[in-house]
Amino acid sequence: MSAATAILAEDEPVLRGELKEMLAAQWPELAVVAEAGDGPAALRAVAEHEPAILFLDIEMPGVTGIEVARRVSGKCHVVFVTAYDKYAVAAFEQGAVDYVMKPFTAPRLDATIERLKARLAGPPADLTGILKSLASTLAQRKDYLRWITAAQGDALRLITVDEICYFKADHKYTLVVTPDSEALIRRPLKALAEEVDPQAFWQIHRSAMVNVKEIAGVNRDFRGHLTVRLKQRKETLPVGESYVHLFKQM
């Protein structure tokens, strides 16, 4: 029996490389025959290589992952690579396709590999039904930022938003602060504020946005100004006058 072949279609090179390394470690018999960074490239690669498996990012530039999947339906087994949460994942669990979540974890990828090995004995599924359900699910809700990539020396680190204590504006950059580290990203705080879940992150100052779960409490100084205490950091964060209303219930 010849080795199974796969194409990795993911527009983030760092994540694509990470997935490739994990697959090599956990499924060394799998041959990755091509990589693609956008939808059109993914379609060309599938036409050229006719892989058994396509690992496919939903949010692909040029042609969306859903459209790519629609065009390759029945031609190869599809695994969606996604940052979408449980609401969209429910659509995947109809059984026609599998999925791996970003950031990748070894146990989840192991489960995907085992299912793929079992499915390779049969023909690829017709994805028409699940793609209709998935498109409808994603159209109904906004997906919020789940992770960021930040430079640390010569390396890039993947930071999930759940582990971030707060963001702090630093000119054209933003300081990303976790319980045990800090990193600068070239993205303004204003842009980040539009991408994160407003229920999970509160902007408390024109230059600061805090993870609500990391708030230990608030203090008021003799002038009446509020500062936020954090659960896992020693420093406090000032609260701007325009944001005091957020703490009325505390």
User: Which strands sit side by side in the sheet containing 236-238, from one edge to the other?
Assistant: 215-220, 226-230, 236-238
pLDDT in tens, 186-212: 889 988 998 898 889 999 999 999 999
pLDDT attached to residue 93:
62
Residue 145: Cβ-neighbour burial (10 angstroms; 0-12, 13-18, 19+): middle
Residue 63: Cβ-neighbour burial (10 angstroms; 0-12, 13-18, 19+): middle
Asked if residue 157 has pLDDT above 70, the reply is yes
Per the structure block, which two tokens stand in for 212? 């609500």
pLDDT in tens, 55-102: 999 887 788 888 999 999 999 999 988 876 554 566 566 555 688 887
- Rounded-to-10 torsion of CA 123, 15, 23, 50: 30
The answer to whether 201 and 237 have CB atoms below 8 angstroms apart is: no
pLDDT in tens, 212-224: 999 999 998 888 8
CATH of domain 5-139: 3.40.50.2300
The answer to whether 186 and 49 have CB atoms below 8 angstroms apart is: no
SS3 91: helix
The fold adopted by the segment(s) 147-247 is OB fold (Dihydrolipoamide Acetyltransferase, E2P) (2.40.50)
Residue type, 222: F
DSSP-derived letter for residue 52 is S
pLDDT attached to residue 1:
46
> Which residue ranges does the chain devote to CATH 2.40.50.1020?
147-247
pLDDT attached to residue 84:
62
> Which residue ranges does the chain devote to CATH 3.40.50.2300?
5-139
Higher pLDDT, 49 or 144: 49
The answer to whether 158 and 152 have CB atoms below 8 angstroms apart is: no
Give the whole-angstrom CA distance, residue 119 versus residue 110.
14
pLDDT attached to residue 65:
87
Give the whole-angstrom CA distance, residue 180 versus residue 230.
13
Element (H, E) at 88: helix 86-92
Average pLDDT, the chain: 87
Per the structure block, which two tokens stand in for 48? 């050229």
Dihedral sign from CA coordinates of 98, 101, 107, 113:
positive
Count of CB atoms situated within 10 Å of the CB of 219? 11
